[in-house]
Chain A
Amino acid sequence: MRRLPVYLLLDTSGSMSGEPIEAVKNGVQVMISSLRQNPQAIETAFISIITFDTTAQQIVPLTDLASFQMVDLKASGVTALGEALKLVSSCMEREVAKTTMEQKGDWKPLVFIMTDGIPTDNWQNGLTEFKKHKTAFTIACAAGNGADTNVLKQITNDVVSLDTADSGSIAKFFLWVTASIGVSSTKVEDSGKEVQGLKELPPPPSELNIVV
């Protein structure tokens, strides 16, 4: 059966240490358990987590909701966003099944990026790789003042920002990610149509500012 791949790219650089990284960990946990209450998400959604600090790492490969196990996150180092984009591209290349005449492929992936800082590597190179892949949508979240929404705007049109990277707003962001995955998996199941971009998703919580 067709899967709905979901990639979460999470910034684990030094500036995220303390409250923000704890909030991200908690956000992922809450997201998984609430998706586990949705039979449609369980049938279709597969989640992968990629973290980026001084390097980028796929800490959870594309995994179904039932088998998903979170690993610990630690914040340190700088912000290799470019490497993360490159990594997610190669993961999509490898993990997302293409439709062939013999096999039904997966739906186009959903990509969520969350960062609190400015990329410290050559992010344009990563972006070139990333743009080669079609996603159903990519949403970038600038957490707090340190993030540069102009950079994110070049990655995707759908950019949201959190005024502060505190536990409350990060939790809200993950709630919204959860609802978006829920809506997308239901849409795929209910109407055979993929969700495209921010407009079809549930409205973001009040703490999220949509960057236009």
Chain B
Amino acid sequence: MSVITVKSIINDSTYQYVDNGNPKSGTAKNVYFSPDRKYVVAIFKDKQDFNQKERLTKIVTQYYNAIKSKEAGDYYLEEIYRWPTDVIETNGKTGLIVPIYNPKFFFKTGYATSDLIKGEEKNGKWFAGSKFRNRLFPLRLDESELGNWLGYFQICVNLARGVKKMHQMGLSHSDLSYNNVLVDPVTKSACMIDLDGLVVPGLYAAEVIGTADFIAPEVLATKHLGKTDPNRKLPNRLTDLHALACLVYMYLLHRHPLKGGKVHDLDTEKDDLLSMGEKALFIEHPTDFSNRPKMNQISKWDTYWADVVKLPYTLTGPYLKELFDQAFIKGLHNPNERPNADMWEQALLKTTDLMQPCSNPSCEQKWYVFDNTTTPRCPFCGTAHRGTLPVLDLYYEFKPTVWRPENHRLMVYNNQYLFQWHVNRNITRNERLTVAQKEPVGYFTFHNNAWVLVNQKLMGLKDLTEDKMIGINQMVELTNGKKLLLSKEDGGRVVVITMANQ
């Protein structure tokens, strides 16, 4: 065991790592810890050429600074990315300095039945598939590791934001997959790692074509062509958007959107290439049923989530359904049609406003999206919703006295909060919100047999139906057809209340 000092190739910084002769070895890099375990030194196994070193240098200087200096810089560098901070050289080999992973990304318990993976990294793969969440699977994860369904929306939001920010900076990830993310359903977080392969369009081409489940169809369909062939498609911003759509689908539905039952060729490799490439087809295509999963060919531990009849993708709600259609039907072979990362972020966030807690205490998912029926029930365990269910539709003032629907609604449940981004259309729910904007302005509760909104911070809350101001610390009852003005300010919204499940 020895402590080795290495030097930055950019400035005079020095770093240290402990070489115990047995580094954590990945595909491309050996990873060593610093003595204080605050960072790691990840040394490339292969020699990096001039272009590669220049690309790495840009990632740790220009792009690092671009994130750091902009709005929500700390949020991105702490929460969303493990962004490398420096490039070093030692014995002719190139390495990166990367901050250590947050402790929440290591299994506290791991498997339900053994300590085998306790303390190991929470690689995103553990939470994408369905086996590890099956209570009968011998190697299932402990329930305390799985989180609830609402948590996976926040995980997907983090991933969408990570991709959004890269694309804003003109970068593309080029190898986005569950292997390059850490996921913690317990604290509802996800973090992108291994960010040294980023592609700067026009400057540096992608070095790998990606990870099988996430490679865009056009990349697979043209991979036999030479790199300089004009028809060859390499990973880029639009292929990231395919990978992002796959990740969102997998984290919410624990199955792959394109891996169905259709066989294209009797040769295994050729079949795989066609079914993920040229002939790729959404397993839930509304009119072409040929790639539906064949339930008799599914591992017995995967059948719950593999059943697209019992758990169709539409259970993710109307906003995400539209984006999945765009990504896996319209945009599957037309990359320009794919929804961008910002659209995913907004659709995911809006969908969380449609969520209801399941009243069955042993429901594994705990939350579900309101299905817009008069008798809603949890799609996961089948439990019917009990009691009335207030639905608030949001309207904005299109021009004086003309109010238009926002295509955004808020489902009320006991102790649900109202936030600024519901009240005012000029406030967008994203990572740039200030601390004050993240504070609730009111809450909903079921009180004396009636649903009420308690006003905590709204100066201009008005019951339009009864023409009455509702002051701070006062409450207003929610009744069918009632209209409330949430704010008199510019961008202030009106909500119209519908009582469902009467």
CB proximity to B under 8 Å, residues A67-121: 67, 99-108
A166 neighbours in B (Cβ, 8 Å): none
**A33:B116 contact, CB within 8 angstroms:** yes
Is there contact, CB below 8 Å, between A190 and B263?
no
Q: Residues of B contacting A43 with CB < 8 Å?
A: 129, 131
With a cutoff of 8 Å between Cβ atoms, the chain B residues found around residue A1 in the complex are: 259, 297-299, 302
Closest to B138 in A: A66
Identify which of B83-91, B270-278, B474-482 touches chain A.
Answer: B270-278
Alpha-carbon distance between A189 and B132 when the two chains are bound, in angstroms = 17
Contacts of B267 in A (CB 8 A): 99
B132 touches A39 (CB 8 A): yes
**How far does the alpha carbon of A96 sit from the alpha carbon of B405 in the complex, in Å?**
57
Please encode chain A, from 172 to 212, with 1 for each CB lying within 8 Å of some chain B CB and 0 for all others. 00000000000000000111111000000000000000000
Chain B residues numbered 195-254 whose CB sits less than 8 Å from any CB in chain A: 209, 211-213
A36 at the interface (CB under 8 A from B): yes
Report if A42 contacts B (CB, 8 A).
Answer: yes
A124 within 8 A of B: no
Q: Is the CB of B138 within 8 A of A103?
A: no
Q: Report yes or no: A192 in contact with B139, Cβ–Cβ below 8 A.
A: no
Q: Say whether A194 contacts B261, CB under 8 Å.
A: no
The reply to whether the CB of B189 lies closer than 8 angstroms to some CB of chain A is no
A42 — which chain B residues lie within 8 A by C-beta? 131, 139
Indicate with 1 or 0, residue by residue over B266-305, a CB within 8 angstroms of chain A CB atoms.
1111011100100000000000000000100111011000
A37 near B: Cβ within 8 Å?
Answer: yes
- Report B177-195 residues with CB < 8 Å from chain A CB: 177, 179
Task: Decide yes or no whether A153 CB sits under 8 A from chain B.
Answer: no
**Cβ-based interface call for A65 (8 A):** yes
| CA distance in complex: A189, B212 (Å) | 6
Contact A108 B268 (CB under 8 A): yes
Bound Cα distance A64, B301 (Å): 11
Is B123 on the interface with A (CB-CB < 8 A)?
yes
Query: Closest residue to B126 on the A side, CB-wise?
Result: A39
Give Cα distance in the complex from A36 to B137, angstroms. 13
B212 touches A190 (CB 8 A): yes
- In angstroms, how far is the closest chain B Cβ from the Cβ of A206? 13
Contact B261 A39 (CB under 8 A): no
B130-146: contact bitstring with A at CB < 8 Å (1 yes, 0 no)?
01100001110000000
Question: B125 on the interface (CB 8 Å rule)?
Answer: yes
A40 is an interface residue with CB less than 8 A from chain B: yes
Residues of B near A108 (CB, < 8 A) are: 268
Total chain A interface residues with beta-carbon distance under 8 A: 29
CA distance A27 to B123 in the complex (A): 26
Docked-complex contact A190 and B179, CB < 8 angstroms: yes
* Residue B78 lies at the interface, judged by CB distance under 8 Å to chain A: no
Q: How far is the CB of A81 from chain B (nearest CB, A)?
A: 29
CA distance A42 to B211 in the complex (A): 18
Determine the distance from Cα of A65 to Cα of B137 in the docked complex, in whole angstroms.
11
Chain A nearest CB from B181 CB (Å) reads 13
Within 8 A of A (CB), among B308-360: none
Give the residue name and chain of the A residue nearest to B265 (CB): A99
Q: Determine whether the beta carbon of B116 is less than 8 Å from that of A192.
A: no
Instruction: Compute how far the CA of A43 lies from the CA of B269 in the bound complex, rounded to whole angstroms.
Output: 18
Instruction: Determine whether the beta carbon of A65 is less than 8 Å from that of B268.
Output: no
**CB-CB nearest in chain A for B27:** A186
**Inter-subunit contact A2/B268 (CB<8 Å):** yes
Looking at the assembled complex, report how far the CB atom of A31 sits from the nearest CB atom of chain B, in whole angstroms.
13
B3, CB-defined interface residue at 8 Å: no
Q: How far is the CA of A191 from the CA of B211 in the complex (A)?
A: 6
Please give the distance in Å from A66's CB to the nearest CB on chain B. 4
Contact A103/B125 with A189-B212, A190-B212 known, Cβ cut-off 8 Å: no
Q: Report whether B129 and A101 are in contact in the complex, using a CB–CB cutoff of 8 Å.
A: no
B169 within 8 A of A: no
Chain A contacts of B381 at CB under 8 A?
none
- Known interface pairs A104-B297, A192-B273; A36-B116 also in contact (CB < 8 Å): yes
Given contacts A1-B299, A99-B266, contact A39 B125 (CB under 8 A): yes
In the complex, chain A residues whose CB is within 8 Å of the CB of B261: 103-104
A100 surroundings in chain B (CB, below 8 A): 263, 266
Partner of B263, one of A36, A66, A99, A189: A99
Q: Within the assembled complex, what's the spacing in Å between the Cα atoms of A108 and B116?
A: 29
User: How far, in whole Å, are A65 and B299 apart by their CA atoms in the complex?
Assistant: 13
Q: Mark A26-46, 1 if CB is under 8 A from B, else 0.
A: 000000010011011011000
Query: Nearest Cβ distance between residue B177 and chain A, in whole angstroms?
Result: 8
Question: What separation, in Å, do the CA atoms of A1 and B302 have in the docked complex?
Answer: 10
- Which residues on B sit within 8 Å (CB–CB) of A105? 268
CA distance A108 to B269 in the complex (A): 10
Let me know if B272 and A192 touch, CB within 8 A: yes
Q: Complex formed: what's the CA distance from A189 to B213 in Å?
A: 7
Chain B residues with CB below 8 A from A36, complex form? 116, 139
Which residue of the partner chain B has the closest CB to A108?
Answer: B268
Residues of B with C-beta under 8 A to A99: 263, 265-268, 271
B120 within 8 A of A: yes
| A101 to B269 alpha-carbon distance, docked (Å) | 14
Inter-chain CA distance A157–B349, complex, in Å, is 56
Contacts of B271 in A (CB 8 A): 99, 104
- CB proximity of B223 to chain A, nearest CB, Å: 10
> What 10 pairs across the A-B complex have the smallest Cβ distances?
A192-B272, A66-B138, A39-B125, A66-B139, A192-B212, A190-B211, A99-B266, A190-B212, A191-B212, A37-B117
Which residues of B pack against A, CB within 8 Å? 116-117, 120, 123, 125-126, 129, 131-132, 137-139, 177, 179, 209, 211-213, 259, 261, 263, 265-269, 271-273, 276, 294, 297-299, 301-302
Subset of 10 A-B contacts with CB under 8 Å: A1-B302, A2-B272, A36-B139, A37-B116, A39-B129, A43-B129, A99-B266, A105-B268, A189-B212, A192-B276
Q: A2-B272, A100-B266 are in contact. List 11 more A-B contacts (CB 8 A).
A: A43-B129, A65-B139, A66-B137, A67-B138, A102-B263, A104-B297, A106-B268, A190-B212, A192-B272, A193-B269, A194-B269
Chain A residues close to B by CB (< 8 Å): 1-2, 33, 36-37, 39-40, 42-43, 64-67, 99-108, 189-194
